[in-house]
Amino acid sequence: MNVRLFTTQTCPYCKLVKDFFQEKGVQYTEVDVAEDPAAANEMVKLSGQMGVPVVEIDGAIIVGWNKGALEDALKKKVKAAA
């Protein structure tokens, strides 16, 4: 499973996503869009949004802190891998 988390250092909702991933044992790549303008542009192209967090799970995009959507996306990936 390929998981990317587009964040900024000052985003409290990004911290919630990181804590959620840690709790679930999900490995992810964090991309700080405040430090990487090219990544910020990619995030906007993927999500249509300028705000963070944006999560990409194997191409599926979840915008914002949405625990239910994150859980659903992870469940789908686990089922697909089984």
Domain range summary for the chain, segments of one domain joined by +: 3-81
H or E, element range at 39: helix 37-47
Is the CATH number 3.40.30.10 carried by domain 3-81? yes
Paired sense of beta strands 3-7 and 60-63, if any: unpaired
C-alpha gyration radius of the chain: 12
pLDDT tens, position by position, 46-61: 999 999 999 999 999 9
Distance of alpha carbon 28 from alpha carbon 14, whole angstroms: 13
pLDDT tens, position by position, 10-41: 999 999 999 999 999 999 999 999 999 999 99
* pLDDT of 80 over the 90 cut: no
